[in-house]
Amino acid sequence: MDSKKDMIALVTGGAGGIGSETAMTLAREGARVIIADLYEKVEETAEILSRKSGGKITGLRVDVSDFDSCTKLRGEVEKVVGERRMDIIVNNAGITRDALLTKMDFATWDKVIRVDLYSAFNVTKNFVEWMIERKFGRIVSLSSISWKGNVGQVNYSSAKAGIVGFTGSLSRELARYGITVNAIAPGLIDTDILKSIPDKIMQGIIEKIPMRRLGKPEEVASLISFLTSRDTSYITGEVVSINGGFNF
């Protein structure tokens, strides 16, 4: 695996499970990492992650579901980094608000689509020009095993299927600039996002996973590290699964 020395990386949702591990992995490999998160203590979280990883991680507060908030983020990143440069974007921030369609109100639908899908547009649109100018970039967006459909997740599945379409289209648009665009589709990964699933249901799910366990955030971070390497320059437009053999 190549080093990420001198690379600038933006990880949205970097105060959470997968995002924090990804930020630390990229930082250990030498990247200058910005975590962008709605969490009010994102700056303190970045300091902790910097200490743990021995790398350089800065926290900036943003609501990725809001376009103007992402434009403001671009200005803040420029100040922190000292130049208009972005090598790696990890569109990772996401939420779930599960309910059967019959019980789902409009606000619940709307919220998840905004955070899980609009975010990819809002963030990528604001930073992609910097990648195009330098003729290099690595964009990885978090889809999910649920993109193909899952009971109680019409909002989340629609957003995560949207990420697959976004990735396919954008990979074709940006290939000529040396920018790769990929999505990953994790199965169940042990983070706070799973907290709303009752223990009994979770045990039933784990029994169906061939590896009989949840994935670890660091296992997802390794995949993101691979897809954002300088070496992986010919992989684009892919949706890579990481699920312990579990498929719906």
Ligand X SMILES: NC(=O)c1ccc[n+]([C@@H]2O[C@H](COP(=O)([O-])OP(=O)(O)OC[C@H]3O[C@@H](n4cnc5c(N)ncnc54)[C@H](O)[C@@H]3O)[C@@H](O)[C@H]2O)c1
**Residue from 13, 55, 137, 162 binding ligand X (CB under 6 A):** 13
Q: Which is nearer to ligand X, 143 or 171 (CB)?
A: 143
- Does residue 234 have an active-site annotation? no
Q: Which is nearer to ligand X, 78 or 219 (CB)?
A: 219
Closest residue to ligand X, based on beta-carbon distance: 16
- Find the part of the chain contacting ligand X (CB under 6 A) among 57-65, 77-85, 172-180, 201-209: 57-65
**Residue from 55, 137, 186, 244 binding ligand X (CB under 6 A):** 186
- Find the part of the chain contacting ligand X (CB under 6 A) among 122-130, 181-189, 221-229, 230-238: 181-189
Per-residue x/- track, 194-233, ligand X (CB under 6 A) = x---------------------------------------
Binding of ligand X by 98 (CB under 6 A): no
Per-residue x/- track, 114-153, ligand X (CB under 6 A) = -x--------------------------x-x---------
CB of 208: closest distance to ligand X in angstroms? 14
CB of 156: closest distance to ligand X in angstroms? 7
DSSP 23-45: HHHHHHTT-EEEEEES-TTHHHH
Binding of ligand X by 92 (CB under 6 A): yes
- Determine the straight-line distance between the first and last CA of the chain, rounded to whole angstroms: 31
Question: What string of H, E and C letters represents the secondary structure of the chain?
Answer: CCCCCCCEEEEECCCCHHHHHHHHHHHHCCCEEEEEECCCCHHHHHHHHHHHHCCEEEEEECCCCCHHHHHHHHHHHHHHHCCCCCCEEEECCCCCCCECHHHCCHHHHHHHHHHHHHHHHHHHHHHHHHHHHHCCEEEEEECCHHHHCCCCEHHHHHHHHHHHHHHHHHHHHHHHHCEEEEEEEECCECCHHHCCCCHHHHHHHHHHCCCCCCECHHHHHHHHHHHCCCCCCCCCCCEEEECCCCCC
Q: Which is nearer to ligand X, 136 or 225 (CB)?
A: 225
Binding site for ligand X (CB under 6 A): 12-13, 15-19, 37-39, 62-65, 92-95, 115, 142, 144, 186, 188-189, 191-194
Which of the residues are catalytic? 156
